[in-house]
Amino acid sequence: MKEKDIKIIEKEMKLANEGLPEMERDLFADDRPSRIEPLNKYLEQFLNWARARSLWILAYGTGCGAIELRPLMTARFDAFRYGIAGRPTPRQANVFIIGGYASLKTIKRIVRSYEQMQGPKYVIALGSCTINGGMYYDSYNTINRIDYYIPVDIYVTGCMPRPESLIAGFNGLKKKIQAGQCDGMNKYADNFDWYKANQKQIIKDWNMPDYNW
Amino acid sequence: MKEKIDRLRKMVNVLQVVEKHPDLYFITLEGNQLVMALGYLKNTLNFKHLAFMQAVDYLEDNKFMLTYMVYNYELKANLGVNVFIDREESSMFSIHRLWEHAWQYQRELYEMFGIDFPGSPRVDEPFIMESWEEMPPMRRDFDTLAYSQKTYFPRPGRETNDPKEQMKKAKYPNYPDSPKIRRDDE
Amino acid sequence: MVNPLYLIIISLMAGFVLPLLDRVNRKLSLATFIGVLLANTVITGFWMHGFIQADLGTLSFSTAGFTAPLSINFQLGILEAFVLLAINLIGLLTGIYLLKKFNESPLAGMILFIMVVMGANGLILTRDLFNAFVFMEILSISTIAIITLKRTNESLSSGFKYMLASGIASIFFLLGVVFIYFFSGSLNLDFININFTDYRLIAVYMVAIALLIELKMFPVNGWALDVYESTDAGVATIISVINSTAIAFMFYKIMPLLPSNFLYIFGIIGALTYLMSNLMGLKQENARRLLGYSSIGQMGLLLASIIFTAGLEPVLRIMIVGGFFLNHLIAKTGLFWISGLIKKEKLKDWRVIRSNKSLMIMFGIFIFALSGFPPFAGFWAKWEFVKSLLAGQNILIIALILLGSLFEVIYMFRWFIQTVKGEYKEDELSIMPSGKVILTTLLGTLGFGLGILIMKNYYGFNFLFTLPILSLLFIYLIDFLPAKIKGIMSLGGLAYYGYYLYTLVQFENPIQILFGVIFLVGSGVNLISTLNRSEISKGFYGLLMMMIFSFGSLLIARSYLEFFLSWELMTIASFLLILRGKNAQKASLMYMIFSIAGAYLMMVGFGFAPELIGSSALITGLTYVQLPLISIILLALGFMIKSGVLGVHVWLPEAHAEAEADVSSFISAILLKAGIWGFLLVAISVVWNAPQFDVYYWMGWLGVFTALVGAFLASFQEDAKRLLAYSSMSQVGYIIAAISMLSHLGWVSAFYLSLNHMMFKSALFIAIAGVYYRTHTRNMYEMGGLIKKMPLSFISVLISIIAVSGVPPLSGFGSKWLMYSSFIERGWYLQAAVLFFASAVSFLYLYRLIHTIFLGQAKYEHKDVKEAPVWFIIPQYIFIGAIMVLSTFPNLLIKPLSAMASQYFNSNIVIDGYNVYSSYGHWNGNLIMLVTMGVFIVPLFFLILFIGKITKVKQFNIVYAAERPESPQTTHVAHNMYAHYRKALGGWGKPRIWDFWHGSAEWAHTMGDFFRRIYSGNGQTYLLHIILFFVVVFFLGV
Amino acid sequence: MDIFIKIIYAAISILVATLYGLILIGIVHKIYARVHRRIGPPVWQPILDIIQTHGRKVATSHGIMFFLGPVFRMAGGMGTYLFMPVIFGSVVFSNYSMAGDLLLVMYFIFFGQLGMALGAGEGGHPYSPLGIARGLSQMSTFELPFSLAVISIAIQYQTLNITTIVAAQQGGMLNWTLFTNPLAVIAAMISLLGMNMHSPFSLVLAPQEIPIGPPIEMNGSFLGILQTNRALFASAKLVLFMNLFFGGATNLPIMMLKTFSIYMFSVFIGAAFPRFRPEQSFRFFLRIPTLIGILSVIVIAYL
Amino acid sequence: MIETLILGFILLLIGLYAMLSQKNIIKIILGFSIADTGVHIIIVSLGYLKGRRAPILDSAVDIANSVKEVVDPIPSALVLTAIVIGLATTALMLVFAAELHKRKASFSIDDYKELKW
């Protein structure tokens, strides 16, 4: 390939960030997310083993389910014994719990937070609302299917699910991670344009870069 | 309470008085006398607290009913002040000068019903409906289900049950008539 | 030798002839007028020439064919000739100056002018008291009459007041003269040979008081101020110079008659006049009246100097009195002339002077001359006067005079700064008559030349010490060249100078070489940054070189005077350099005031110091003398003011912040070291001849608290340059404390820190200069995120702040290690703890500096900012390179520094390879460097191995609570960064010292305003003053 | 050859210290959990966390200083540790203590903090400088009593050499500084609370105010390195305190015992007190601990 | 001649008092004139020796013994000059007074305080 062509391809790999005003485009990164392949099978297995035992939750309650997260850390449920701990910044967390219904306003923040997490990252969708809208299925404001906007690894049903079912969900996630099946990050990268189109369809005032690094 | 309303009568034209409860009255006023009445209620009759504002869409009458719920700490009584306004040119005087926090309610009403309150601060800023482009969603002629189905990718295969029937069927199959589930409209 | 009678005769004849000639032609009369003045000048010039050529002694000329007691006689000695020449010359020049005026006004003006000159001449020449009275009356009547040359209400009423005062004075004088005659039987000064004791005192007292009134002593001088304010400029010159001089000379003549206790009181009155009139001058806004206050003050000084130098040898006395006299003569004449040219009353309206370059320079010269700066005559006179007063133990007089002088400097320089820097509109341009300008320029040059003459001929200063002045003049001559050429020439000159100085001092004392490196090499590298100037930069390089050469002279000064001369030259140069800054009015004034105060302290301190033996440099010479305690304190205080020690530091941040970007680094990195150098000199003298009281213990505390307070203040600044300024203050505190320890390790650390501070602070200031050059702001919170745009500057700032903070492995740690080791070794434990606290606080401001400028969020307006110009980068990296080398091989520096300090103390550090051992600990700079590199590389390698795929993100790609940042301004944490610390400090964080100085300034002005209320403007009040003065002084004397 | 052996020794020493520090943190978590009547995570949880963070496949970097910040931090921790003798008389654990004395160690502590502050600063997040400003301010205040304590023991032992200070404390418990100079130890132990940044002095990380402060933008391996350093640095500080005040250690178990006890001191205090506001914390350190420190110097030097 | 001496001093004091107490410029000038006269009288009376002649060397005086017969001539000479000068001063003062009056139509010295402080 000629050098010129490489440049063109590189340029195409960049995001347009059309939602941003001209002045701000320089202030946001415009790289596309890309697939990351595992290095080595055994190394990856070892890492997955560790990842499954060190789950760092992004402390961001998006809906009513956030209430159910609090008891997890108390003496009764003690999620810490599984290595589940809260983390105040998406940069450091690797588990994102969508705590219930996602509205028009919160989906924007969910997408932003999800994109700011550094992979491998996992999403637990909590409650019926995240699956099919739940009791708000006919609302003008509630996202029916969260997996149209970000990839979801585990659903925990119920309205609301109790902390016990959350822990069960965590166990499921752990199994899935250890089996190496949680590949949401790559899924998101592969189907980036589709996800983006879905997001942009409902978020009309898109005032952020196309991918929030 | 009655005495207060009688005193109010001397000021403005009270169209209707409904006693729901010894501590809860609803009165209906004319729209152009509303601010004056509320000011009188607040300053003279001691209804110091604006608990909330709300609107009801009477699509059939082509009217909105605005309700201002004020509270008197001495009587420990609520008074709802209703006003009917035209649905097409829905606009009302702003009362943020009487109660500063009213701007937030007015902003919400503007967003949800499209009722304008000229002069109210930040009234046209989106409250929760960022980037909303349809008609105000709380108006009854807005079909939320259709909108939801059109926009939010409904998951196929979803079943919806009437809660009343579901309760009878799933939880109390042996006692079809009891307990009675109380609904508001009953 | 021409008979002095001719002076009188010519004038009188002219007085008669002029009306006749005027009938013929105005030109003719004007020519005659000038001719007479010229003839006077030429005659006196011949006398002076004659007296200088041949030692003729004192000549006496009698009149009317009789000898002395029977007739009036004139006496003409070298003194008379000198004074006569001076006043006749000024008379001639003023006559020329007033020519146009005379051409337009009635003839009387000319005649009166000639009468004034004649009266003055006669007063000076005559030895007969009654004749003196006659001349005095001629003088005052014609002076009063000439006031009416300008016929305004003000001038007339002030003339009337003058009339009243001089009438009373003449009554006193006449009575006195008659009583003298009555008691002694003679009117001739040469033949009055009785002692005026008991009741006979009244006779001489009356004469003296009359003269004091005519000399306008405080408080009997209200009328004089009105006259100065209201008359024509030329006339004011006559009153201020010719009139006063003649009367002062008369006072000198009757001095032998006065008893010593009265003389002392009159001396105090003179000094008091100087103080009070300058204090009252503080409040003046009218230029003429201000000059009047200054004139009166100078007369007081002259009187005091005449009285208090009575016992000195004649040459010295002429140096002092003549110095003050000539200084006043030239400067005041020049200023009055300029006031005539400007025609503006308000001080601040004098800005129009900027339309005329040479006039402006002359204005500056007169101001500097009047304030007693070298090389003008006043400087030498003041130095010798203070010295002689100290020898006579007249502390009170010194205090009065120096305080008065300080006030004079304050208002003079405030005026100067206002004039040179104030808002200035082009349309205020007024056309100055070129003749008068040339005349003024001539006068200024005369004054300057006179100063140089004294410097060269009387004191015999060699070329090196005049070099600062010569370089200023030389570069002024080539000022039309572009800045770069001048810069490179300066660099070349500096290199040669440095080499020459090295050959001069290389065997004398290694400490000189160390400070030579700081002063000259440091200046040289800093000078590179000035090459960035693209415009012509008029005057910049001249002043810069003047300052640098003065640093050099400080190093090799062999006597107190040489040192003090260089010090003052340095002050002038640095003051003018600071003044070049855009908003530097306040800053430069503060710098000037504090410098002058410091210089006066030093002057007195040097006066107390014993004479040096031999002619080696001060650093050697001072070792062998025992300085008295008072001298140590005063000198140390003087030097500490220059280096900005706590309490007198208020000038420092202002000057640093407001000076031009590339000047600040000179001030901070090098100028402050001059103070350190002086402080070190004093300390050296103490090493072997310690005073009883351990004053250095307390200076150590002062240094320690300077370090702490400086660090705190730096942390609370928003302005990058002010931050660095306070940081300098803090570092200087360390150095002062270390020197004060008077121990080997202490001095090694002081030397080490001095050199280090020069390097890193230069680098920091130049880096900030580069940033300022690109961003045009000094407020740190307006910057941010510049690391991407200016990486080179960032690196140099980074390395510099690591060096400042003392974090290993860089050279800063060396200084900290030496410092704490020495403090603990010396037993100054609590001081060490405070210093440790200060150095921990210093992290606050260092982080603030680097973060708010280079890290965080870049602003929109700095989108297109580029790296600093290469001229800023080069010197930074020279310093950075030096820092790195010295960090890796610290022994390169420690060894020679240890050798330097061990000249004075027993060495107690052992250097073994790269190890340095003190009695408490050890330190291996090289190994530290290696280990640090090792531990740095390991995690770096680890990180690169594990990091995975890195995405380089931009400044807004931050976690912002699921939102996106609004704007860089709201996202950059910079403004008031340590608010919580300030809150925690509570009342300790208030600027009390600042308040104190502001309060003092306010107080002085209020006092000035209070005292000047006695000048109510009412002639009768002035009369009352005179009567009261007469009575009170008499009873004081008795 | 000598140098290589020295490097190997240093590597062993650091590895031990890091593992020990990690386990120490795990144990503390466990203790906390037991106090709360929870089961708590396994003691090796910190190690798992570090593996997990290093296992992140992507990372974001804000620039070169951001990249180097954690490296500086780690270098600071390693350096601080390496310039101290850990176990008295041991060749392996004597580290590079011949490079400098106590002053070097005290100043090397700043190295990592300064580097990290710069790295975090380039992250551009407003919480980073907020945290750093708090941290630096607090550091300046707790360094005052600590330096007073250090000066006090320097006077006491007439040296700043750590090895010599440890040697002087050998031969029985009563020779420890704890008993010979209790005031200095009190002052230093209070400042240790500040150094360890447990509550009530947890101003920098302050999860409820400025969510974890400076390292808020740190992710992936950056975070992993920071966590490693946290363990190493903690053990370095503890070793320093052990050496200065608690008689040092002659073998590994004693070292662990002593450092664990010292650590428990700040853990207990941290478990019992809520967090100070910044200015409260600064004032606290500038008052009583400083007075105690001054007293200790005066007592040792002049009485 | 002590009486005249005292008279002279009294005149001097009266003159000074007038200068200090009177507001009118003309009166002040008069005061000055009185004081001046007092001074002149003092001078003359200091030189006067009782019972001697005026110091005029004409036929009435024995030239050889003149020193013992005439009063001291110098004060007389002085006073002549002093009177002349006093006259000149007074005249100039009056000129000033006239000029001032021309401008402000006032003789009160309080009206001429434009310049102060």
Asked if C931's CB is within 8 angstroms of D79's CB, the reply is yes
Option in C948, C952, C954 nearest A28 (CB):
C954
Asked if A28's CB is within 8 angstroms of C963's CB, the reply is no
Instruction: State phi, psi for C545 to the nearest 5 degrees.
Output: -65, -35
* Per-residue confidence band for B186, with pLDDT thresholds at 50, 70 and 90: very low
Residue E74 CA to residue E78 CA, distance in Å, equals 6
- Which of A105, A108, A138, A143 should we substitute to test contact with B (largest number of B Cβ atoms within 10 Å)? A138
B2-154 adopts what CATH topology?
Beta Polymerase; domain 2 (3.30.460)
- Which of D29, D56, D221 should we substitute to test contact with A (largest number of A Cβ atoms within 10 Å)? D56
Give the number of C-alpha atoms closer than 13 A to the C-alpha of residue C127, restricted to the C-beta side: 26
Shortest Cα distance from C922 to chain D (angstroms)?
A: 5
B128 and chain A: CB distance < 8 Å anywhere?
yes
pLDDT score of C182 more than 90: no
Asked if B130's CB is within 8 angstroms of A133's CB, the reply is no
ipTM of the complex: 0.85
Q: What tokens were used for A108?
A: 């924007």
Shortest Cα distance from C963 to chain A (angstroms)?
A: 7
Asked if A75's CB is within 8 angstroms of D41's CB, the reply is no
Q: Where are the domains of chain B?
A: 2-154
Where do the domains of chain E lie, and which CATH numbers do they carry?
A: 2-54+68-111 (1.10.287.3510)
Q: How many CB pairs under 8 A join C and D?
A: 250
- Mean residue pLDDT of chain B comes to 84
List the strands of the sheet with C915-917, edge to edge: C910-912, C915-917, C922-924
B66 bridge partner residues: B55, B83
Asked if D51's CB is within 8 angstroms of A47's CB, the reply is yes
Region D15-24: what's the mean pLDDT?
89
Contact C293, C1012 (CB under 8 A): no
B151 and chain A: CB distance < 8 Å anywhere?
yes
Asked if C1020's CB is within 8 angstroms of E20's CB, the reply is yes
pLDDT score, position D31: 86
B84 bridge partner residues: B65
Q: Quick: pLDDT tens for C506-525.
A: 777 888 888 888 898 999 99
- The set of chains that have 3 or more CB pairs under 8 A with C is A, D, E
Option in E46, E96, E97 nearest C178 (CB):
E46
pLDDT score, position C1002: 92
- The set of chains that have 3 or more CB pairs under 8 A with A is B, C, D
Shortest Cα distance from D192 to chain A (angstroms)?
A: 26
pLDDT score of C453 more than 80: yes
C964 and chain E: CB distance < 8 Å anywhere?
no
Q: Quick: pLDDT tens for C759-801.
A: 989 999 999 988 988 888 888 888 888 888 888 999 999 999 8
DSSP letters, C505-540, are HTTT-HHHHHHHIIIIIHHHHHHHHHTT--S--TTH
Q: Quick: pLDDT tens for C373-384.
A: 888 888 889 888
Option in B133, B148, B160 nearest A139 (CB):
B148
- Mean residue pLDDT of chain E comes to 84
Interface of C with A (CB under 8 A): 860, 863, 948-949, 951-957, 959, 962-964, 968
C1015 and chain E: CB distance < 8 Å anywhere?
yes
- Mean residue pLDDT of chain C comes to 87
* Per-residue confidence band for C431, with pLDDT thresholds at 50, 70 and 90: low
Q: Where are the alpha helices (DSSP H) in C865-924?
A: 870-888, 891-901
* Chain D (26-65) residues lying within 8 Å, Cβ to Cβ, of chain A: 29, 33, 36-42, 45, 48-49, 51-53, 55-60
pLDDT score, position B179: 54
Q: Quick: pLDDT tens for C93-148.
A: 888 888 888 888 888 888 889 999 999 999 998 888 888 899 999 998 999 888 88
Cis link prior to A120 (omega < 30° from 0)? Answer: yes
Contact C40, C110 (CB under 8 A): no
* Chain C (263-302) residues lying within 8 Å, Cβ to Cβ, of chain E: 283, 289
Helix, strand, or coil (residue E51): coil
Q: Quick: pLDDT tens for C459-502.
A: 888 888 888 888 888 888 888 888 888 888 888 999 998 998 88
Region C231-235: what's the mean pLDDT?
86
> How many helices (DSSP H) and strands (DSSP E) are in chain C?
44, 6
Q: Where are the domains of chain C?
A: 128-396+410-447+1019-1037, 461-486+519-936
pLDDT score, position C403: 92
B134 and chain A: CB distance < 8 Å anywhere?
yes
pLDDT score, position C585: 86
Q: Where are the domains of chain D?
A: 2-302
D204 and chain A: CB distance < 8 Å anywhere?
no
Where do the domains of chain A lie, and which CATH numbers do they carry?
A: 58-213 (3.40.50.12280)
Region C247-268: what's the mean pLDDT?
89
Q: In angstroms, how far apart are the furthest CA atoms of chain C?
A: 119
Contacts of D137 (CB under 8 A, 6+ apart): C844, C978, C980, C981, C984, D278, D282
Q: Quick: pLDDT tens for D138-179.
A: 888 988 999 999 888 888 888 888 888 888 888 888 888 888
Residue C796 CA to residue D232 CA, distance in Å, equals 30
Shortest Cα distance from C44 to chain E (angstroms)?
A: 28
pLDDT score of C1008 more than 70: yes
Cα–Cα distances (Å) from D137 to C981, D112, D145, D224, E58, in that order, read 7, 16, 14, 26, 108
Amino acid at E65: N
pLDDT score of A1 more than 60: no
Region C436-450: what's the mean pLDDT?
86
Which parts of chain E register pLDDT below 70? 1, 60-61, 66-67
Q: Quick: pLDDT tens for C481-491.
A: 888 888 888 88
* Per-residue confidence band for A86, with pLDDT thresholds at 50, 70 and 90: confident
pLDDT score, position C68: 66
- Mean residue pLDDT of chain D comes to 86
* Per-residue confidence band for C273, with pLDDT thresholds at 50, 70 and 90: very high
The pLDDT > 70 percentage for chain D reads 100
Residue C324 CA to residue C327 CA, distance in Å, equals 5
Contacts of C652 (CB under 8 A, 6+ apart): C644, C725, C726, C728, C729
The pLDDT > 70 percentage for chain C reads 99
Asked if C832's CB is within 8 angstroms of D59's CB, the reply is no
Q: How many CB pairs under 8 A join A and B?
A: 62
Region C434-442: what's the mean pLDDT?
83
As to burial, measured by CB atoms within 10 angstroms (0-12 exposed, 13-18 middle, 19+ buried), residue E114 is middle
Q: What tokens were used for D170?
A: 């050998």
pLDDT score of C197 more than 80: no
Shortest Cα distance from C390 to chain D (angstroms)?
A: 42
Option in A26, A36, A90 nearest C863 (CB):
A26
Residue E4 CA to residue E46 CA, distance in Å, equals 9
B71 bridge partner residues: B49, B78
Contact C601, C569 (CB under 8 A): no
Asked if A138's CB is within 8 angstroms of B144's CB, the reply is yes
D212 and chain A: CB distance < 8 Å anywhere?
yes
H or E element that contains A96: strand A95-99
* Per-residue confidence band for D209, with pLDDT thresholds at 50, 70 and 90: confident
Q: Where are the alpha helices (DSSP H) in D205-277?
A: 220-245, 252-272
- Mean residue pLDDT of chain A comes to 85
Residue A78 CA to residue A56 CA, distance in Å, equals 14
Q: How many CB pairs under 8 A join A and C?
A: 42
pLDDT score, position D111: 85
Query: What is this structure's pTM?
Result: 0.89
Asked if C1017's CB is within 8 angstroms of E114's CB, the reply is yes
Q: Quick: pLDDT tens for D58-70.
A: 888 888 888 888 8
Q: Please give the residue of chain A at the shortest CA–CA distance from C964.
A: A208
* Chain E (71-110) residues lying within 8 Å, Cβ to Cβ, of chain C: 74-75, 78, 81-82, 85, 88-89, 92-93, 96-97, 99-100, 103-104, 109-110
Q: Please give the residue of chain C at the shortest CA–CA distance from D141.
A: C837
Shortest Cα distance from E59 to chain C (angstroms)?
A: 24
Of C367, C274, C302, C301, which Cα lies nearest the Cα of C83?
C302
pLDDT score, position C944: 86
Shortest Cα distance from B180 to chain A (angstroms)?
A: 22
Residue C784 CA to residue C791 CA, distance in Å, equals 13
Option in D41, D55, D218 nearest A83 (CB):
D41
C950 bridge partner residues: D59
pLDDT score of C55 more than 80: no
